[in-house]
Each structure stands twice: as C-alpha cells, then as structure tokens.
C-alpha cells in the first residue's frame, strides 16, 4: 500500500498537524498582543504594531520563511562567534513553528482588531458600573463577544496556515509534502503520492471546518449563529 511508504505518509501527516497547531497557538497569542497594541492609547505602540503587520504582510510566506530561517541562523552564528559561542544549528521544526506563527500573527492581529471594535463599548462600561474590574470585563464580557466576531477570520487563517505548512519542506522539515516528494522520487510514483498528500490535506481541512463550526455555535449562543 502506498508503494511501501504508508508509514512515511503518516509520519509526515503528524508532523504537519503539529506544525500547524503549534504555529497557530503562537499566531493567536502574538496576534492578540499586536491587536491590543494597535488599539492602544499610546501612539508608539500603535506605530510599532502597525509597522509589524504592514511588514509581515508585504512579502510571500515562502520569502519570509527562507529569509528568517537562513538569514536568522547566519545572524545568530555571527553574533555567537563574536561572543565566543559555538555554531548554532536551528531546529527546523522549532524554526518553522516560530516563523509561521509570527507571519500569521500579523493577519490574526487585524482580525482581532476588527472584532474588538465590533463589541459594543457600552456593555463594558455597564459591567464596570456593576463592580467588575478591568480583567473581569475583558474575560467575561469583551472576549466572548470578540471571539464571536473573530471566528470567521480565525477559521480562514487556520485553513490557510494549515496548507502553508507545506512550504516548510523547503527547510527540509519531514512534514507531509517533503516525505511525499521523497517517496515519489524513490518509487517513481511522484504524482500518485502527491495526490495522497492532497487527500490528507482535504481530510484535515474538513475536520477543521467541522470543529470550527462547533466552536462558532458555542460562541453564538443567545445570538444569531455565525456561518463559516
């Protein structure tokens, strides 16, 4: 089955899932920070956050991956040599997670910013009038409603990021596309194995859409349901 490379395809699929989930966690966390920076009352925070999102969205993911992976490793090694350290070899998995997370945090920041602005400020003011502190207002009033508005954008970004994990094959990460191409070269059945990889991506995307719809239904409780 699969020309003897079924185990490789499964291994690559698992690596793809791990890269996608870990990268998305980084993107969500950093995206929330940047979104709050863009909504900050401090101008310098607004400028820094706006500059970050503008720069990160200005070039293709592929370019950023190669630039940050190889350029970042070169810069760290030059800095390390000056400080007397040995050559630093960046792990492909960790680098892929961080780089994809940073890239997509710029897109999610815009999603979160728009969602925060969509929440009625009067509700937060009313909650404070009832004795809620700022943290309670954010956790119990603003965040749940913000998520309701943000979920369509979050869903789209996740699906795009899941497919974008394929570019990590360019840094020799043993993910689905890298192992499928390697198996194809070894067996001479490259097209068939890439088709299998495409079917795996389709399956992962389908499962993701179902899970995200359930999450949207949860956050839409008591209001009009969101269509993803």
Confirm if 194 and 181 have CB atoms less than 8 A apart: yes
In a domain, 213, yes or no: no
In a domain, 226, yes or no: no
User: For the segment 21-54, what is each residue's pLDDT rounded down to a tens digit?
Assistant: 999 999 999 999 999 899 888 999 999 999 999 9
In a domain, 5, yes or no: no
Full-model pTM: 0.85
CATH number, domain of 70, equals 1.10.3720.10
Q: Measured at the alpha carbon of residue 161, what is the angle toward residues 159 and 165, in degrees to the nearest 5?
A: 120
Confirm if 188 and 29 have CB atoms less than 8 A apart: no
Range of the domain at 120: 14-174
Number of domains forming the structure of the chain = 1
User: For the segment 139-195, what is each residue's pLDDT rounded down to a tens digit?
Assistant: 777 777 888 888 889 999 999 999 999 988 888 788 889 888 888 888 888 888 889
d(CA 102, CA 88): 21
How many CB atoms sit inside 10 A of residue 85's CB?
11
User: For the segment 59-112, what is each residue's pLDDT rounded down to a tens digit?
Assistant: 888 888 888 888 877 777 777 777 777 666 778 898 899 989 999 999 999 999
For 34-40, the CB contacts below 8 A with 24+ separation are 34/105, 34/106, 34/109, 35/108, 35/109, 35/110, 35/111, 35/112, 35/113, 35/116, 36/116, 38/109, 38/113, 39/113, 39/116, 39/117
In a domain, 2, yes or no: no
Unique residue bearing structure tokens 């979160």: 112
In a domain, 195, yes or no: no
User: In terms of residues, how long is the chain?
Assistant: 228
């Amino acid at each position: 089955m699969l020309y003897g490379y079924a185990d490789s395809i499964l291994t690559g699929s698992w690596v793809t899932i791990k890269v996608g989930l870990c990268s998305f966690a980084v993107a969500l966390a950093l995206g929330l920070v940047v979104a709050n920076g863009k909504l900050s009352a401090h101008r310098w925070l607004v400028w820094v956050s706006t500059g970050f999102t503008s720069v990160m969205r200005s070039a293709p993911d592929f370019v950023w991956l190669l630039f940050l992976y190889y350029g970042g490793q070169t810069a760290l090694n030059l800095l390390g040599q000056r400080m007397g350290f040995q050559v630093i070899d960046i792990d492909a998995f960790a680098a892929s997670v961080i780089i994809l997370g940073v890239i997509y945090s710029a897109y999610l920041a815009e999603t979160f910013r728009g969602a925060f602005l969509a929440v009625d400020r009067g509700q937060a003011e009313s909650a404070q009038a009832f004795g809620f502190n700022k943290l309670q207002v954010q956790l119990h009033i603003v965040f749940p409603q913000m998520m309701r508005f943000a979920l369509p954008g979050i869903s789209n970004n996740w699906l795009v990021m899941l497919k974008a994990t394929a570019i990590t094959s360019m840094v020799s990460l043993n993910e689905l596309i890298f192992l499928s191409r390697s198996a194809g070269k070894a067996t001479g059945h490259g097209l068939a194995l890439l088709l299998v990889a495409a079917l795996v991506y389709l399956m992962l995307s389908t499962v993701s859409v179902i899970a995200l719809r359930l999450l949207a239904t949860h956050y839409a409780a008591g209001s009009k349901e969101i269509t993803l």
